[in-house]
């Protein structure tokens, strides 16, 4: 990710903080960096592990609180792939995923025709749509060859 993208995210967070009377701290900056560095999909624990390398004093509670803050600030999205674990992703990503049950690989996809149908379906039921979650589960080519797809 280019430096400029980091700067953009940082200033978006700064703006959100000041607009809401919240404070800018080294912890928040460190966690944002770790989140961006991680790329793609991460759990709170992933971020915590990354952050603690440079900032061993930062605790899990702060990571949880800050990740939630990033969601509120519109910089991240929260999702649930595995039961009982929240996965965060950068807000620029799509919300459609192809998940491998063997190795855990996650591929993002986008399909305009599906998006269009979603809107139609919502309208048919009188719904106004705010977001969606579309997960396809299966086995990637590699895992199929390794016989990890038994069932």
Partner DNA sequence: CTTGGTGCAAATCGTTTGCACCGTC
Partner DNA sequence: GACGGTGCAAACGATTTGCACCAAG
Binding site for a second copy (CB under 8 A): 78, 80, 83-84, 86, 98, 100-101, 107, 109, 111, 113-114, 117-118, 121-122, 125-141, 144, 149, 151
For residue 96 the two structure tokens come to 């459609």
- 106-109 and 96-100 beta bridge pairing: antiparallel
Name the segment binding DNA (CB under 7 A); options: 1-9, 55-63, 124-132, 138-146: 55-63
Of the pair 52, 98, the CB lying nearest a second copy is at 98
For residue 112 the two structure tokens come to 């305009």
- What distance in Å separates the CA atoms of residue 149 and residue 135, rounded to the nearest whole number? 18
- What distance in Å separates the CA atoms of residue 60 and residue 89, rounded to the nearest whole number? 18
Angle at 59 between CA 58 and CA 65, to 5 degrees: 105
Of the pair 62, 90, the CB lying nearest DNA is at 62
Of the pair 91, 149, the CB lying nearest a second copy is at 149
28 binds, among DNA, a second copy, none (CB under 5 to 8 A by kind): DNA
Q: Minimum Å distance from CB 141 to a second copy? A: 3
- What distance in Å separates the CA atoms of residue 94 and residue 129, rounded to the nearest whole number? 16
Q: Which residues bind DNA (CB under 7 A)?
A: 17, 21-28, 43-45, 55, 57-62, 64-66, 68, 83-86
């Amino acid at each position: 990710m280019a430096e400029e993208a980091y700067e953009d995210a940082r200033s978006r967070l700064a703006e959100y903080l000041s607009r809401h009377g919240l404070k800018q701290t080294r912890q928040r900056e460190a966690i944002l960096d770790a989140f961006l560095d991680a790329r793609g999909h991460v759990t709170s624990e992933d971020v915590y592990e990354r952050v603690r390398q440079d900032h061993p004093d930062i605790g899990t509670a702060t990571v949880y609180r800050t990740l939630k803050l990033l969601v509120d600030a519109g910089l991240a999205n929260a999702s649930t792939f595995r039961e009982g674990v929240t996965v965060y992703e950068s807000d620029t990503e799509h919300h459609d995923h192809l998940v491998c049950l063997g190795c855990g690989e996650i591929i993002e996809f986008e399909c305009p025709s599906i998006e269009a149908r979603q809107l139609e379906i919502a309208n048919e039921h009188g719904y106004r749509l705010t977001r969606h979650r579309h997960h396809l589960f299966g086995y990637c080519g590699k895992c199929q060859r390794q016989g990890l797809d038994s069932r």
